[in-house]
Structure 1
Amino acid sequence: MRARYLGIGAIVVYCLAPFYWMLVSSLRRTNDIFDSGPLPDPLSLESYRAAFAAHNGFLRSLLNSFIVAGTTTVLVLIFATFTAYALARLEFRGKGVVLALIIATSMFPGISLLVPLLQLFSQIGWINTYQAMIVPNIGGVLPLAVWNLTAFFRQMPSELEEAAQIDGCTPTGAFRRVILPLAAPGVFTTAIITFIAAWNEFIIALSVVNDNTLKTAPVITSQFTGTTTFDSPFGTQMAAGVIVTIPLVILVLLFQRRIVTGLTAGGVK
């Protein structure tokens, strides 16, 4: 039993150590950034003030990240819910192949799609727009969302819809009034995963937007400069990293029960 707890503790320390060091570094003074002590001495908010300096545009980038991640999450949930429900309930030849192709599309690295996306967006005038970041995000996260929700809908008995239709519901009404409320844990889990993926997306946002007023927080953070354009302000970047991580941590802590419920639903019949 003790060995089990030691193993769990070692894994927790291994996973959290980078975040701990990021937090500690963000609270050091610029002159002390390379100190090896476990705690900042003295404690300083200098890096946080620098991160929110007006010329950095970091506050605006946080708003951009919320717009991109929020819009992506809403659209992915709409598309994925209807697609997954159809794949779970309809029987047709080649359904397994369709599911395999859907999940296979998520295996392509984003960098391989960058050149064609740039060419397409340049032709249709989408460079330096929100949709240039949102549409690729949808394409990247949608396959996983469809796969996750399909598995969730499959474990729900079809007798639920039949009972609702006997009581007078249309197929659409049965889906809206019976299935969706019961599927809330799975939908909510998918929403959290989608939001985190869209919030952390970097390579597409870096490539299709060069207007500082439209850049997302990860991009702006990577482009911070120090007193000259050739030095890297590690403390400021660490502070920005902590700030960018906070919304995700709060989201997971507030809704961890729903997330666990959604991930484990259907695991035991």
Structure 2
Amino acid sequence: MSAATVSAETYTVHQKNDWKAKIFPSIGIGLIVIYCLAPFYWMVVSSLRPDSEIFDNSWWPANPTFDNYAAVFSAKNNFAHGLLNSTIVSVAVTIIALLVATFASYALARLEFRGKTLLLFLVIATSMFPLVAIIVPLLKNFSEWGWINTYQAMIIPDLSFSLPLAVWNLTSFFRQMPQELEQAAMVDGCTPAQAFRKVILPIAAPGIFTTAIIIFIGAWNEFLVAVTMINDPTMQPATVLLSKFTGASQFNTPFGSQMAAGVVMTIPLVIMVLLFQRRIVAGLAAGGVK
């Protein structure tokens, strides 16, 4: 057998292996995407169905309509104001949690002191308390302080669960960064604060953005604290208003309007994840060389 024949056979085998190596991961990724997007697709389809077709199992409504979206933003539901309240609370929780967690996690990652590991476990353990166990004491305290129907009544409980997770995530991220980065910056004339601001924070952007997404989604979807602390319709977030949608009568559940409201609440999260995901990938690709 000639060398050319052997080379051709080897090339053919490599082509077959390359084809298998590409097609199977692609199939797996496609199945995962379908599995994740199928509920959202069905929510979109249900939001476009008229009431007469709401229980149909067809892949697309026979008579699609936007009446459910019009009902969502009708004056009686006050849903647009609820979205504004959700945005205010979620943005406030995200900003405060990131500011506190960034400095706290950097200190925990760089400083060496006795009991640091135990402290980290205590930090994450505080987020494991069931919310239903502490909601009544919180309600009593907030009532005495006059915080009912205020933004801080929603922001502070959300922070108590967002901060531990943010500190834990960012501490692990800062630990992966070599201390030589700060040392090199200080050799070039930076102060420790300047080294942190000009060198560490840009490199830590992927971890910070990822943590911000997790915090924002958690605050955006929060329900129990808001429904307990807020009884003023003008202060209630979108999640609480969504649960109070009513149909033509008390015996009619507006499934179409609820699905439409779910779509409206999900779209900002999808857009935010897509926008931040590009920055996360770019930051990870640049790495420490950046």
Fold in common (TM above 0.5): yes
Distance 1:132 1:262, change over 3 A: farther
Q: CA deviation at 1:77?
A: 0.5
Residue ranges of structure 1 left out of the alignment (5+ in a row): none
Partner of 1:151: 172
Aligned residues of 1:152 and 1:265 also touching (Cα < 8 A): no
| Counterparts in 2 of 1:146 and 1:28: CA distance versus 1, 3 Å | same
Deviations 1:79-122 (A, max 9, x none): 00000000000000000001111111222222222111111111
Identify the match of residue 222 of structure 1 among 243, 264, 286: 243
Match of 2:76, SS state, is helix
Give the 3-state SS of the residue equivalent to 2:248 in structure 1: coil
Given that 2:181 and 2:199 are in contact with CA atoms closer than 8 Å, whether structure 1 keeps it comes out as yes
After TM superposition, the structure 1 stretch with the greater mean CA deviation from structure 2, 67-76 or 25-34, is: 25-34
State the structure with more CA Rg.
Answer: 2
Which residue of the partner structure matches residue 232 of structure 1? 253
Deviations 1:233-269 (A, max 9, x none): 0100000000000000111112223345678999xxx
Letter in 2 for 1:113: I
Task: Give the number of equivalent residue pairs.
Answer: 266
Matching residue within 128, 133, 158 for 1:107 = 128
Cα distance between partner residues in 1 of 2:261 and 2:52: 18
2:138 is the counterpart of 1:117: yes
> What's the offset of the Cα at 1:170?
2.0
Residue number in structure 2 paired with 1:64 = 85
For 2:128, the aligned partner's letter is M
Following superposition, the deviation at residue 26 of structure 1 comes to: 0.2
After TM superposition, list the pairs within 5 Å mapping 1:99-248 onto structure 2. 99-248=120-269
Q: Distance in 2 between matches of 1:100 and 1:264?
A: 31
Contiguous gaps of at least 5 residues in structure 2: 1-19
Structure 2 distance, partners of 1:146, 1:262, is 20
Q: Is residue 49–residue 61 contact of structure 2 (8 Å, CA) maintained in 1?
A: yes
Residue 85 (structure 1) aligns with: 106
Q: Cα–Cα, structure 1 residues 34 and 263, in superposed 2: closer, same or farther, change >3 Å?
A: farther
Name the stretch that deviates more: 135-144 or 15-24: 15-24
RMSD: 1.9
1:254 corresponds to which of 263, 269, 275: 275
Equivalent residues of 1:22, 1:241 under 8 A apart: yes
SS of the residue corresponding to residue 140 of structure 2 reads: helix
CA deviation vs aligned residue, 1:201-258 (integer Å, no higher than 9, x gap): 1111111101110111111111100112342101000000000000001111122233
2:14 aligned partner: none
Identify which range, 13-22 or 65-74, moves more after superposition. Answer: 13-22
After TM superposition, the score normalised by the length of structure 2 is 0.86
> Identity of paired residues, percent?
62
CA distance in 1, matches of 2:213, 2:280: 8
| Number of the residue aligned with 1:16 | 37
